[in-house]
With several copies, the nearest count.
Chain A
């Protein structure tokens, strides 16, 4: 749907306003977990880990459709939902890495699921095409052969998720009045 039409819709603006806040909350929780990984494993900046960056990258969650000028809300939202769905699964690796922070990681997974559902329901309200993502048979989190690999893997999952959320946030803000 052309952006012009959407941006005037009151419900859509309320949806954007609420889910911008929700995304800020999720980003805050991801940042908290990144601080835990830094404090616990001394893994703090990407610049120092270029040679051990997982290859292929752990997470395939492209948001290219949301970066285009005048992007299609429908396509961008679908990419955001697919990414949230994938991160829900890969956060399982962070669960194994940080057992004492299970509550916070599980909250993140719940929030990612809620945000995806909120976007899906809003798309349905707007009459946009939506895909119902499989809730039951989830893909298992990535596995690692050494503690160090697991720590680095956890570090990059959180770093990539934070970057993913920043892009998604900018896309939602672009649509908000």
Chain B
């Protein structure tokens, strides 16, 4: 049992296990050393208990070395946190002479839905997850990450109560698979999320391309040529892009997929004549596991009238 008072004190309270599964029993003992309690010298001390503010009766007996001991058993602790007070009657008042904190809760729930995103501004890998069921106990949550070949496990700790944190660039190994997982630990156990095995570069969030020019090709056809520039920060990456366009009044977009990013130009047909169109483009890594960039800034173009 865990001694929770120094031996020289007037009283010391010892608890079986300070943290128990919700609804379980808690046993505690309070040892009174009369000579250490100022003003309590004579007569036999009457020991009583308070669970927070709720009076509880213990079984009192003579202890070794002239001490008095009271044993308490709380059949079911149903609140996450409580204070067990050991009290002694003195001058008609109930004196608090010792205390122990007891807690009840559950092992942590399993974190889930782990996903990560690499921010190209600082190459920090930000991961988010869903917290498991609340164990009502102080819980240590950590995101853990390990590169494929090295035993070292690093990662990051989310700020209190948050379910995300960022692994700094210096702990990452780019262009190699890494393993990431979340652990939640409290006094009653540990839970681990599924393991995510990714190359950080595959989950890079790209900057959108910039649409540069749009014009008809040649004037008589219903075709249009577009040119664009890749965002400098991800220009070194092979990307595949999507173009969406819609006529001004038309609420729905048409989408052209599978456009090789580095082409920088494309042609598309079947546009109506003399019509104002809105165009936007977005890209992602051609490994198709990454995130789409935002849509580029929109660009408008009015196709030429049909030749008479």
Contact = CB atoms under 8 A, between A and B. Distances in A.
Interface of A: 18-19, 21-22, 24-25, 27-28, 41-43, 47-53, 55, 103, 106-107, 110-111, 114-115, 117-118, 121, 124, 145-149, 151
B238 A55 contact: no
A114 B175 contact: yes
Given A18-B201, A25-B236, A51-B95, A145 B6 contact: yes
28 contacts: A21-B238, A22-B201, A24-B236, A25-B237, A28-B236, A41-B83, A42-B83, A42-B85, A48-B95, A49-B96, A50-B93, A51-B10, A51-B97, A52-B11, A103-B122, A114-B172, A114-B173, A117-B173, A118-B175, A121-B148, A145-B8, A146-B5, A146-B6, A146-B9, A147-B4, A148-B98, A148-B99, A151-B99
A19 B11 CA distance: 43
Contacts of B123: 107
B224 interface: no
Given A42-B52, A147-B101, 6 more contacts: A18-B201, A21-B236, A41-B83, A50-B90, A52-B96, A145-B6
Contacts of B85: 42
Contacts of B235: 28
Given A107-B169, A148-B4, A117 B176 contact: yes
B162 interface: no
Nearest to A111: B174
A148 B85 CA distance: 10
Contacts, number: 100
B161 interface: no
B88 interface: yes
Given A25-B236, A121-B148, A52 B9 contact: yes
Interface of B: 4-6, 8-13, 37-40, 52-53, 83, 85, 88, 90-91, 93-101, 122-123, 147-149, 169-170, 172-176, 199, 201, 235-238
A93 B83 CA distance: 22
Nearest to B123: A107
Contacts of B236: 21, 24-25, 27-28
B96 to A, nearest CB: 5
A51 B176 contact: no
Contact of A121 (B13, B99, B176): B176
Contacts of A145: 6, 8
Contacts of A43: 96
State the majority secondary structure of interface residues on B: loop
Contacts of B91: 50
Given A148-B98, A149-B9, A51 B38 contact: yes
Contacts of A52: 9-11, 37, 95-98
A112 to B, nearest CB: 11
A85 to B, nearest CB: 16
A51 B39 CA distance: 7
- A-B interface, 9 closest residue pairs, ranked by CB to CB distance from nearest: A24-B236, A145-B6, A18-B175, A51-B37, A25-B236, A51-B95, A22-B175, A148-B99, A48-B96
B24 to A, nearest CB: 23
Contacts of B83: 41-42
A124 B149 CA distance: 10
Contacts of A148: 4-5, 9, 13, 98-100
B79 to A, nearest CB: 14
A114 B177 CA distance: 12
A147 B37 CA distance: 18
B175 A121 contact: no
Nearest to B202: A18
A124 B176 CA distance: 14
Nearest to B96: A48
Q: Which of A18, A24, A118, A148 has the most CB of B within 10 A?
A: A148
Contact of A50 (B39, B175, B238): B39
A18 B200 CA distance: 12
Nearest to B236: A24
Contact of A118 (B99, B170, B176): B176
A49 B201 contact: no
B90 A118 contact: no
Contact of B175 (A21, A48, A106, A149): A21
A48 B94 contact: yes
